[in-house]
Structure 1
Amino acid sequence: MAGMVEAIHVKRKTMFEFEGSPYACLDSDISTPTARGGQTLVRLKMRNLLTGAVFEKTFKAQDKFNEPDLELVPATYLYSDPVGSYFLNQESFETLTLTGNMLADAMDYLIDGTALQVRLYNGEPIGLQLPIFVELDVAHTEPAVRGDTSSGATKMARLETGLEIKVPLFIKEGEKVKVSTELKEFAGRA
């Protein structure tokens, strides 16, 4: 049986099960009472991993949660069609299908052959864990204007997936750039 975790020990990025669904903690705040006999409360900002819904809820410090049956498997992005997006499980070589609501904005970073991890809950795919950085080609950007060289100057660039980010003026069309999937921003030349 999976272990139990107390609410007071739930920290950022902790996974836990609440009301039969898996959740990821986005933030936790512990309120210790000043009066004697008061209860310590834990306010959790949490994301439902099945629906993507985010909300806050307060628990008593001693409330317990089950650890969810979550597993990350290495996979490669294959292609998408109107039914969903398809990934090749690198361990079992079976094809995993995820629908649009399971992907959220992950499609902004996926090109054929992108290596990532698929999150399974009770053996079924429920979402992705993207790499921290992905390398994408710049599909379109305006040429830098001579004399426009103030420090830190940026311009908009559209990448091969359609994602638009700010890049430094020296980046040209056709170059490969490194993009942070957490911050959705330029992280350097590839």
Structure 2
Amino acid sequence: MAVLIEAIHIKRKIVFEFENSPFVCLDSDITTPTARGGQTLVRLKMRNLLTSAVFEKTFKANDKFTEPDLELIPASYLYTDGDGSHFLDQESFETLTLNDEKIGNALDFLIEGALLQVHKYNGNPIGVQLPIFVELNVVYAEPGARSDSSSGGGTKLARLETGLEIRVPPFIKEGEKVKVTTETGEFSGRA
């Protein structure tokens, strides 16, 4: 029997099934009525894991949802070609392929051999879950101005080995490895 989750217990990053599709909660807001007998309502901002569509919907606090048949499979990134992006399942050693729509902007953070998690829904790959941080090499960095110092303010543009361009502090040079936050795509420190 599937586990049931009440709407009032759905918080950020919880995965649930709604209208036969898996969703992840991005934000939740609980509204309690001031009048007696009023319904407690839960407003969920949620993303469909199959289509990546994001929307908000209001539910009664006691509405119930099932847990989706969703599993996270450890995988490594192999390559991308005309058929999509290919990953190696680290447990079964089968190749999993995701099309551009399902991969989203994840390729900005992936180099060959990178380890991550692949979402499988009902046995089919539907997306990836990146690590919180990735370490990437700087292949180009704008020259820093003379007035810039390692203690100082300002940022400059740097291009990483995946082609992603980010703002970095002035002291970062070509050839260095930097840590990037995958959620925001921002510089997080030297690696």
Q: TM-score range by the shorter chain?
A: over 0.9
Paired residue for 1:6? 6
Q: Which runs of 5+ in 2 are unaligned?
A: none
8 Å contact kept, 1:2–1:69 = no
Paired residue for 1:151? 152
C-alpha deviation, 1:151, in angstroms: 2.2
Look up the equivalent residue of 1:11 and give its one-letter code: K
> For structure 1, which segment, 55-64 or 143-152, has the greater mean C-alpha deviation from structure 2 after superposition?
143-152
Q: Residue deviations 1:110-138, cap 9 Å, x none?
A: 11000001011011100000011111111
Q: Residue deviations 1:78-114, cap 9 Å, x none?
A: 0000110000000000000000011111000011000
Runs of 4+ in 1 over 4 A off after TM superposition: none
C-alpha deviation, 1:183, in angstroms: 2.1
Question: Within 5 A, what are the aligned runs for 1:128-143?
Answer: 128-143=128-143
SS of 1:166's equivalent in the other structure is strand
C-alpha deviation, 1:153, in angstroms: 1.8
Question: Within 5 A, what are the aligned runs for 1:120-135?
Answer: 120-135=120-135
Paired residue for 1:17? 17
Aligned length: 190
Q: Residue deviations 1:143-185, cap 9 Å, x none?
A: 1121233723210111111111110101111111111101211
C-alpha deviation, 1:13, in angstroms: 0.5
8 Å contact kept, 1:98–1:126 = yes
**What is the TM-score when the length of structure 1 is the normalising length?**
0.98
Paired residue for 2:98? 98
State the identity as a percent: 72
Q: Which runs of 5+ in 1 are unaligned?
A: none
Question: Within 5 A, what are the aligned runs for 1:158-177?
Answer: 158-177=159-178
1:182 maps to 2:180: no
Paired residue for 1:58? 58
Aligned partners of 2:126 and 2:158: how far apart in 1?
31
SS of 1:97's equivalent in the other structure is strand
Look up the equivalent residue of 1:69 and give its one-letter code: D
SS of 2:8's equivalent in the other structure is helix
